[in-house]
Structure 1
Amino acid sequence: MQLGKDMVERDFIPESKMLEIIDDCAEMGVKAITFSGGGEPLVYKYMPQTLRKLVETPIAFATLTNGARLKGEVAELFAKYGTWVRVSMDGYDNESYQKFRSTGKGEFDKIITNMEAFKKIGGKCYLGVSFIVGQENYHAIYSMSKILREIGVDSLKISPTITSNESEATNAYHAKIYNEVKEQVARAQADFGSRLEIYDSYHYQLESFEKSYTWCPYSQMLMVIGADLGIYPCQDKAYNIEEALLGSLKDISFKQWWAENKEAFFKINPSKVCNHHCVSDNKNKVILEYLNADKEHLGFV
């Protein structure tokens, strides 16, 4: 699998189409919208207009971000009306951040400053950081936890970098640092856990990423509308046109497409095209177990 292999970086959703999609989502009873992307979602030039529109609806909204654009009106709207913001990080100081992300000098400090200022705005929005751990930054888990607690971040999620579609290769990569990572996470939880929720999601991968099921329930619950106006089953399959494009909103509204294309959600056969890391795998298994249960016996525990 190659993430976003058909993505065209210059693509964006026109303002009028974005507002139409939000109207449709509100009418359809959509519960929540998350902004994410193969790039940085907060560079979208119509984000302020989009958020102002969302504030007028009952739809909850959130974003994944690198934190560089978390400022100004966009930050104000997320802080006051958003549900959560999650900043993805792997660098732990200016030098490492520049190396890992090929950014300019001082970018790490700017992002830390943005997050600190975001929390000072106040509001109900939950600010989290996802720290992606590998061999080059595992030693900084404790120090990063300390920095994030000091600037008021609400939560920190520690996750492993996925190095391969083969679980054995990823596990072998992490075996060299696994014990030290666990020790640092435990220390950070003990020292900073009273003011910073630290979620330990660092673990070995399944022995196999193979899927035995032939239908993905989660594609009907958490699909993706891309900047190309394509509809995809999930973030992993977004911008993989031949394999995963379910439809397009270029000439049709989201509401109309949804009503007329139910069969599109059965295009994806996970047993054939999803034999890679998938965050929805366990959730799919639970849903499928429920749906396959004998309906006459569901009342018995």
Structure 2
Amino acid sequence: MSNNQLYSALKSFYFPERLDDIRLGQVPAPVHVRIKPTNLCNYSCWYCAYRTDALELGAGMSEADSLPTAKMFEIVRDIIEMDVKAVTFSGGGEPLLYKPLPDIITALGNAGVKISLLTNGANLQGRFADALGAHATWVRISMDGWDDASHAQARAAAPSDFSKIIANIDAFTRAAPQCVVGVSFIIGEANHRHIVDICQLLKTSGVQHVKLSAAVVANDRARNNAYHAPLLGPVRSQIKRAQALEDANFRIANHYHLMDTRFDKPYNGCPSAKLLTVIGADQSVYTCQDKAYTTEGCLGSIRNLSFKEFWFSDANRQRLQSINPRADCRHHCVSHAKNLNISEFLNLDHGHLTFV
């Protein structure tokens, strides 16, 4: 494993032609598309934003929705024609419950589109694992348990599912060493003293990095921070010990922090929404993963037209141009750091660019 960064807010600058289009008020083809193929899930995680009433994300989601197979292949053709560079399959639900997915991954991979997947890992086997092993750049598994009992408690899972997932990870990392396998470990009260335990186990299973993040338990940042405040000391101690496990093949990505007390946005537009978009299992397109399955985040439906037709339509261009984060996005934003960097770049005075 190299020392190169996997997570960065600077990746957009590798696509200057897209940034030039944005500067000119145009809508480029997205660099990256997130597809939520199904809203069905085999687990019921206590903190899942799509299934808890405490969070706004996914407020309008129907768990019965799945992309029709014909529609999915139409989207694949559009993505290839539009020169989209990467596709991430995520939830909604659990993408590895979507039966056509191996063929979808193969079609995209054979066309040179980079593939990634977010999964709970329970079905990371068989045809799914084979297709991902052949074509995926990275796979990230969401976890919060550290043994069978804790996993079953947190996710309403079968008693032995944690051991099954660890076996799936071990088999996949051995079969597909070129694919970067990470784990997103969600930290809450129940597991905050077991961070070292899970990191040690995951390292021995071939996982290359563990991303540590705080469970979001409320829309209100004060309530969320109050939940995590008593955990901060023990969590920081656990993370420091986990970081001692790092070596050339294993990294800890520490994203555990309290929520910002202010969500002010100092920019008027959202350039990130033109570079990364989300297609839901309901055949609607959304501005970002933070607003998936919400009315305010919906750009429009592709039920009766193709994704390509929709994306380059005047209606979508006007909708994207109308986004005002100062007013519309006074909440946690996954793209905030990206937008800060891109907005500064787009507003540079070209008469002074040579004065580096």
TM-score with structure 2 length normalisation?
0.80
Q: Distance in 1 between matches of 2:167 and 2:317?
A: 45
Seen in structure 2, the aligned counterparts of structure 1 residues 298 and 51 have a Cα distance that, compared at 3 Å, is same
* Counterpart position of 1:265: 320
TM superposition shift of 1:43: 0.7
Match of 2:141, SS state, is: strand
* Partner in structure 1 of residue 66 of structure 2: 12
Is this contact kept in 2: 1:12–1:227, CA < 8 A?
A: yes
**Structure 1 residues 299 and 164: CA distance shift in structure 2, 3 A:** farther
Question: Which secondary structure does the structure 1 equivalent of 2:139 belong to?
Answer: strand
Which moved further from structure 2: 227-236 or 95-104? 95-104
In structure 2, C-alpha distance between the alignment counterparts of 1:250 and 1:145, rounded to whole Å: 43
Match of 2:147 in 1: 93
1:26 to 77, 80, 99: 80
Deviations 1:142-174 (A, max 9, x none): 000110011111111111112233333323322
1:149 is matched with which residue: 199, 203, 227?
A: 203
How does 1:78-117 map onto structure 2 within 5 Å? 78-117=132-171
- SS of alignment partner, residue 63 of structure 1: strand
CA distance in structure 2 between the partners assigned to 1:193 and 1:138 by the alignment? 23
CA–CA distance in structure 2, aligned partners of residues 102 and 269 of structure 1:
39
Alpha-carbon separation, structure 2, partners of 1:235 and 1:89: 19
Q: Any gaps of 5 or more consecutive residues in structure 1?
A: none
* 2:344 is aligned with 1:289: yes
Task: Identify the range of structure 1 (24-33 vs 166-175) with the bigger mean alpha-carbon deviation.
Answer: 166-175
> Which position in structure 2 is the counterpart of 1:57?
111
Whole-angstrom distance in 2 between the partners of 1:200 and 1:157: 6
The residue that corresponds to 1:163 in the other structure is 217
Alignment partner of 1:176: what SS? Answer: helix
Identity of aligned residues (%): 44
Deviation at 1:186, TM superposition (A): 1.5
The farther-off stretch of 43-52 and 136-145 is: 43-52
Out of 48-57 and 160-169, give the one that drifted further. 160-169
Q: 5 Å matches for 1:202-213?
A: 202-213=256-267
User: Residue 253 of structure 1 corresponds to which residue in structure 2?
Assistant: 306
Task: Confirm or deny: 8 A CA contact 1:167 1:209 kept in the other structure.
Answer: no
- Alpha-carbon deviation of 1:208? 1.1
Amino acid at match of 1:72: G
TM-score, structure 1 as length reference: 0.95
Q: 1:200-254 CA distances to partner (integer Å, 9 max, x unpaired)?
A: 111232221233433211111111011111000011111113x121111111111
- Using the alignment, how far apart are the partners of 1:221 and 1:9 within structure 2? 27
* Structure 1 position 177 matched with structure 2 position 236: no
Contact 2:56 2:219 in 1 (8 A): no
Counterparts of 1:244 and 1:195, CA distance in 2: 38
Render the CA deviation track for 1:16-49: whole Å, top value 9, x for unaligned: 2111111111111101000011211111121122
1:43 aligns with 2:97: yes
Per-residue deviation at 1:194?
4.3
Which residue identity does 1:198 align to in structure 2? I
8 Å CA contact 2:277–2:287 kept in 1: the answer is yes
Counterpart in the other structure of 2:270: 216
Q: How much is the aligned-residue C-alpha RMSD, in angstroms?
A: 1.6
Q: Residue 329 of structure 2 corresponds to which residue in structure 1?
A: 274
Alpha-carbon distance between aligned partners in 2 of 1:5 and 1:207, rounded to the nearest angstrom: 23
Paired letter, 1:202: Y
Structure 2 SS opposite 1:288 = helix
Asked if the contact 2:302/2:310 (under 8 Å) is kept, the reply is yes
| Residue pair 2:290, 2:334 contacting (<8 A) in 1 also | no
**What corresponds to 2:297 in structure 1?**
244
Between 1:104-113 and 1:291-300, the stretch displaced more is 291-300
Which range moves more in the overlay, 178-187 or 135-144?
178-187
Does 1 or 2 have the higher relative contact order (CA < 8 Å, sep 6+)?
Answer: 2
* Structure 1 Cα separation of the partners of residues 311 and 328 of structure 2: 23
